[in-house]
Amino acid sequence: MRRRLIFAAVAVALLLIVATFPMRLALAMAGAEGSGLTAREVNGSVWAGELIEARLGALPLGNVQASLSPLALLGGDVEMAFKRPDPRLGDLAGRLHGSNPRGLSDLNGTSSLSGGLGMVPVDSLRFEGTAVRFDERGRCVSAAGRIQLNVGTSIAGLDLSRGLSGPLRCADGRAEAALTSQSGMERLTLGFDGSGAYRAQFAIQADDPAMAAALSAIGFRPGNGGFVLVSTGRF
């Protein structure tokens, strides 16, 4: 009986330590910054934390509510559930995996994209059941769900306010999203690896000479499938 009481007391003590362990220290110990997660301020415990002005690479998450998986922490990994119920920025929720393999899962909602995609004026991204995971070499090992990309301004007079959307998959070790507009006349293929290096190829079919001239003036070049603009960079 005495041993059982000691075991119960130790278990309760460990539970209290984990329950009240600061989120800030847990993220630092687990190397969350190496996964691209940063925040101006981190408050609360691992069960009920808050990240102020959080970012995931080029994705500004804003102020998010977060909780860490204790089992993952015991193994030295990061598995964080987060959500942003924000009527101004839009809802956003998902899970961040720091390793084995690292990436995101169950991602739903909207986020802006800092800097866009180079010369492609991206305003925001919408995720629908999106998941992408990378191994230690930065190669895509699994990807699923859909992405909708919203263009912030008209391109050569084209109205792309309804965005371009399509599925996410792994292709040749990179995550790849093949996005099309509702008309099917505009297509954007976005590929990226675990380091955040991306390549975006934006193709627009243009039979009208005036539109072709307007596209050429802003950097599009005749290519396979229409006028093509290629942009590379890093998230």
Asked if residue 148 and residue 37 are part of one domain, the reply reads no
- The half-sphere exposure of 29 on its side-chain side, counting CA atoms within 13 A, is 14
Write the pLDDT tens digit of every residue in 169-202: 999 999 999 999 887 888 989 999 988 888 989 8
Domain end, chosen from 46, 63, 86, is at 86
Report if residue 175 sits inside a domain.
yes
Among positive and negative, which fits the CA dihedral 49, 145, 102, 14?
A: positive
Average pLDDT for residues 41-58, to the nearest whole number?
84
How does DSSP classify residue 209?
H
**pLDDT for the residue 124:** 84
Report if residue 108 sits inside a domain.
yes
Write the pLDDT tens digit of every residue in 111-165: 887 677 777 778 888 999 999 999 888 899 999 999 998 876 767 667 777 888 9
Asked if residue 218 and residue 114 are part of one domain, the reply reads yes
Asked if residue 109 and residue 51 are part of one domain, the reply reads no
In percent, the amount of the chain with pLDDT more than 70 equals 84
Number of domains making up the chain: 2
Asked if residue 163 and residue 56 are part of one domain, the reply reads no
The pTM of this model reads: 0.79
**pLDDT for the residue 73:** 66
